[in-house]
Structure 1
Amino acid sequence: MAYHIESIDLFVRETPPNRMTFTIGKQKGADAPPPKRRPRGILLVRMQLTDDQGRRTWGVAGDRPSFGWLDKRSDYGPEEKLDRLLALVRRARDLYLEQPRFDTPFEQWHDRLEPIRLQGKAANHEGLSIAYASALFERAMIDAVCRMEELSFFEAVRQNRLGFDAGSVFPELKSIRLQDHLPQRPRTRFAIRHTVGLADPLTADDLPESERVNDGEPETLAEYVQRDGLKFFKVKISGDAEADLHRLGRIWDVIVDVEDPVVTLDGNESYTDINAFARFVERFEAEQLGIFQHTSFIEQPLTRALTHDPSTADAIAKITRHKPVIIDEADESLDSFPSALAIGYSGTSHKNCKGVFKSLVNFCRCRQLEAQDRIVIQSGEDLSNMPMVPLHQDFAALGVLDILDCERNGHHYSYGLSHLTETEKRHVRTAHRDLYTPRDGELFLNIRNGMVQCESLQCRGFGVAFPPEWNALIPLDDWDIAW
């Protein structure tokens, strides 16, 4: 069986302005506006696919073009970073179309990854930007093949219909058979790990009435805990130990009455000095023991370059005696996770925007290390996932990776599914009654007791039950960029 890519189109779904401000990492000043990290739009890919039996179908993938997370260097301004990222995406599309015929999605992804990497490096792109460009077309291809073969993503992986072969990427994984380690059924119930941004109000005292949105939805952490029954929390830290420790104490005051709360910290590369980070961890334990005892890991505290510096191994070993540390932004390429493990890190994040097959390779490595009695973590992250396509596909991937809790409240910075068309909302009401709930004339993620149920994503294709309303989208080349 051979497949053939007939065409690849790029679209943008424009989104309304955020209902709330979101802030990560170090800021220029308390009163400074958040830096531009992404435009108001979701980038979508449509891939038209045929096979040698004459069958024809489509596949889709999407992500916010979050250039400010992908590339944090000061070499380029926000507008230039976005232009550069979109140029790389267009070049990746061309490279897929240069070799349109393939036997398996895994083979095509692995074959196209290197030329995309070379093009990206030649244009001075970060590894994350390269992974982002590759992953868009990887997912659209997976969706199309699953749709053509009338399989869900879980079924396609379980039956090895995607051609996955971790041993062809890393020979040391040759003995690991993915299917032996998959859950018997895909996970379809997930705990929402609610991200607390640096600017997010924690209680009503932080939010004067004059600054409230007053749209009927919660606006403070305390209100979300009460309304959604949250138990999992992801707290952004800034690299300012004094401010972070004070805020962690205030957050603990909000969640202390939650039964068995689980917390993770996310540094977003805010530390440039590993010794300063080590001191923070020691103070965290000494000064905020309550929330410290409920913290399961710390994510990406150091810059991506410092993360892979072998000279930090002794310091990382000492830090991980207090808390596991995992990588995220530093997980730029296929080699990143094994490199970090060798230094002493405890795991990595799954994000569809970094690559689905890459996460499956990392999953195999985790299972191999667990068999050797090493504790490793593969977490579910990505605040940028928005309904429909990005969110649905990430949940479908997590169902295969069997990850319980995931960072998943990016939607609350927007107003439900207000960015979708009325036709799409009608389809959502029919196809995804488990995942969304109506409220005040809009549809919202259906969070009950801190959990979401999404059995409906086990449909034909990669979590996408019906196509976007293509005519309502803006061709990328026609988009007048909205900020």
Structure 2
Amino acid sequence: TALSTAFGQAVLDRAVLDALCRATGTSVYAAFQRNLVGLAHTAIAPDLGDWDWNAWLAMLAPASRIDARHTVGMLDDLEGDAVDAGGLPMSLPAVVKRYGHRCFKIKLGGDPVTDLARLDNVLRVLDSLQPGHRFSLDGNEQYADPAALRALCEGLRHLPALARRPDALLYIEQPVPRDASLAPALASLDPPAPLLLDEADGTLDAFPAGRAHGWRGVSSKACKGLYKAVINRARCDRWNSEQPAAGRYFMSAEDLTCQAGLAVQQDLALAALLGLTHAERNGHHYVDGFGEAPETEQSAFAAAHPDLYELEAGRPRLAIRDGRIELGSLDRPGFAHHADPDFDSLRPLGDAASMVPA
């Protein structure tokens, strides 16, 4: 698929960028701000042919911290303070109590009646636990029926919790299947919050094409391509400057199970570079800390990035304090890391098939 192809290229791009930063003794932030990466007019983004890359990149101002947006799944427990054997939270109240999240991402299932009823319950819990919270909705391509999507949008406008604070809903992520993202009907949908491309963002021209069909946002994921993300960020600035009175174009940072170490650090650094203020983080819900990585590797990353990890239950885990992740230690020579994986412990790529159950 287009996304899997992009992932292969993204891995190579990240490695080359890391080598460039190490060779020049610069952080990834400085490498972009000084345009050491060589961004210029390119045929792959003809709409930015006259864009002043040097001036624009020089204005990027990465933050030293970012809000962590917690993913609320369809089956997540909305009550109680349950934790697992390792002390990690299992219910929504336990998560908020443990991490202090103020930003959330709520999953949808494709049935407007069921989704609206559950959303009403989720917002009731969040209004009680964290007044003033903000959230996004993720349709995960489940709304293939245009009538169902219209019913969802209409129901959202009448949801009591949302009616009281309509600005709490940030955007609706990829409600329709990726292959239906350019359907003419979307342009007249009039959703209660802007639509954001995610799974449909498989090529460099996906965002401009989506713009013509009513999409106003696109996600950033390091696995989809860091240069694509930077190009799309420039597009947002250009389009917003051309029509400041209309609905603004924007980017978000979404997760794909980024695990502790290089994956989460480089993904967070990209989000910070783009000026994003919050990022979905879900990798720490699927993998405890560094998972099966050697203890020497875990200790090296924890020592090199003490603001990003904290020792808990005898192992380093991603540190989310008061809903935020500190990123200061990522601003150093190299692509957002001052420790390396234990490469000798990694399994050769040719053995990958044996790791997947038949």
TM-score by length of 1: 0.69
* 3-state SS of paired residue (1:195): strand
Cα drift, residue 253 of structure 1: 1.8
Distance 1:354 1:145 in 2: 20
Distance 1:341 1:419 in 2: 42
Residue 233 of structure 1 pairs with residue 108 of structure 2: no
Residue 431 of structure 1 pairs with residue 307 of structure 2: no
Distance 1:342 1:450 in 2: 35
Q: Answer with 218-227 or 461-470: which moved more.
A: 461-470
* Correspondence for 1:272: 144
Cα drift, residue 308 of structure 1: 1.5
Distance 2:54 2:115 in 1: 42
* 3-state SS of paired residue (2:219): strand
Cα drift, residue 423 of structure 1: 0.8
Residue 247 of structure 1 pairs with residue 127 of structure 2: no
Distance 1:171 1:306 in 2: 25
Q: 1:176 aligns with which of 48, 51, 58?
A: 51
| Length, aligned pairs only | 349
Cα drift, residue 467 of structure 1: 1.8
Deviations 1:300-359 (A, max 9, x none): 0001111122x224433x22xx21111100111011000000111111000111111111
| Distance change in 2, residues 1:187/1:406 (3 Å) | same
* Correspondence for 1:296: 170
* Correspondence for 1:58: none
* Correspondence for 2:234: 364
Contact 1:396/1:463, CA 8 A, preserved across alignment: yes
Give the percent of matched residue pairs that are identical in Structure 1 and Structure 2. 33
Contact 2:61/2:275, CA 8 A, preserved across alignment: no
Q: 2:193 aligns with which of 320, 323, 339?
A: 323
Computing the radius of gyration from Cα coordinates, the structure with the larger value is: 1
Q: 1:193 aligns with which of 69, 72, 93?
A: 69
Distance 1:272 1:313 in 2: 12
Cα drift, residue 169 of structure 1: 2.8
Unpaired runs of 5+ in structure 1? 1-125
Deviations 1:360-395 (A, max 9, x none): 110111010111214011000014111111111111
Distance 1:282 1:384 in 2: 32
Contact 1:238/1:244, CA 8 A, preserved across alignment: yes
Distance 2:146 2:304 in 1: 48
* Correspondence for 1:462: 335
Residue 337 of structure 1 pairs with residue 207 of structure 2: yes
Residue 450 of structure 1 pairs with residue 323 of structure 2: yes
Distance 2:240 2:68 in 1: 25
| Distance change in 2, residues 1:179/1:227 (3 Å) | farther
Residue 473 of structure 1 pairs with residue 342 of structure 2: no
Residue 305 of structure 1 pairs with residue 179 of structure 2: yes
Contact 1:167/1:175, CA 8 A, preserved across alignment: no
Residue 402 of structure 1 pairs with residue 278 of structure 2: no
| Distance change in 2, residues 1:313/1:213 (3 Å) | closer
Q: 2:28 aligns with which of 144, 148, 153?
A: 153
Contact 2:309/2:318, CA 8 A, preserved across alignment: yes
**Amino acid across the alignment from 2:79:** T
* 3-state SS of paired residue (2:196): strand
Distance 1:282 1:179 in 2: 44
Contact 2:65/2:324, CA 8 A, preserved across alignment: yes
* 3-state SS of paired residue (2:240): helix
* Correspondence for 1:382: 255
Unpaired runs of 5+ in structure 2? none
**Amino acid across the alignment from 2:119:** L
Distance 1:166 1:265 in 2: 35
Contact 1:275/1:315, CA 8 A, preserved across alignment: no
Q: Answer with 215-224 or 164-173: which moved more.
A: 164-173
| Distance change in 2, residues 1:323/1:184 (3 Å) | closer
Correspondence list, 1:32-181, <5 A = 126-181=1-56
**Amino acid across the alignment from 2:174:** Q
Cα drift, residue 275 of structure 1: 2.6
* 3-state SS of paired residue (1:272): coil
Contact 2:170/2:194, CA 8 A, preserved across alignment: yes
Residue 412 of structure 1 pairs with residue 249 of structure 2: no
| Distance change in 2, residues 1:362/1:148 (3 Å) | same
* 3-state SS of paired residue (2:77): coil
Distance 2:187 2:66 in 1: 36
Distance 1:236 1:148 in 2: 42
**Amino acid across the alignment from 1:386:** Q
* 3-state SS of paired residue (2:355): coil
Q: Answer with 294-303 or 174-183: which moved more.
A: 174-183
